[in-house]
């Protein structure tokens, strides 16, 4: 499984990443192929508005239709210290493999990723 994930080392950096993920959710919101995922949560009106905005090439405005509730329903959002647990809680019983990425620019980043994966594996087994 490759869920939509927004993660960063701290809350300030997460806010930046979450903006990007909110834009991606907005794209999905505007796309008819993804409509059922939003309809099931009763976000039909937002999806219809997003579709109209996309046809008018108003892409920069669509993310404003994505509420925090919508963002957190469609994506898993948390800091590096939270994301392993959040993914395990959300997908642990449903899958045995999850793919996501974080930037690894130095040995400390590699250690952080290893820590997240270790936590995810341990939490999924419990």
CB 92 within 8 A of CB 124: yes
CA 9/CA 24 separation, integer angstroms: 20
Instruction: Count structural domains, the chain.
Output: 1
CA 94/CA 118 separation, integer angstroms: 18
Query: Looking at per-residue confidence, does 60 or 105 come out higher?
Result: 60
- Mean pLDDT of the residues in the chain: 91
Predicted confidence at residue 11, as pLDDT, reads 97
Residue 5: DSSP 8-state: E
Predicted confidence at residue 43, as pLDDT, reads 97
124 pLDDT above the threshold of 70? no
Residue 126's pLDDT band (cuts 50, 70, 90): low
What is the rounded average pLDDT of the residues 82-111?
86
Look up the domain containing 18 and give its range: 5-125
At 23-64, the pLDDT tens digits run 999 999 999 999 999 999 999 999 999 999 999 999 999 999
CA 35/CA 58 separation, integer angstroms: 19
């Amino acid at each position: 499984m490759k869920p939509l994930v927004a993660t960063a080392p701290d809350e300030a950096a997460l806010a930046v990443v979450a903006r990007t993920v909110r834009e991606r959710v907005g794209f999905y919101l505007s796309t008819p192929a993804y409509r059922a995922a939003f309809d099931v949560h009763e976000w039909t009106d937002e999806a219809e508005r997003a579709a109209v905005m996309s046809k008018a090439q108003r892409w920069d405005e669509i993310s404003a239709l994505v509420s925090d509730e919508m963002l957190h329903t469609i994506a898993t959002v948390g800091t590096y210290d939270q994301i392993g647990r959040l993914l395990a809680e959300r997908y642990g019983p449903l899958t045995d493999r999850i793919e996501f990425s974080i930037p690894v620019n130095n040995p400390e980043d590699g250690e952080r990723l290893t820590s997240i994966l270790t936590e995810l594996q341990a939490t999924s087994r419990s």
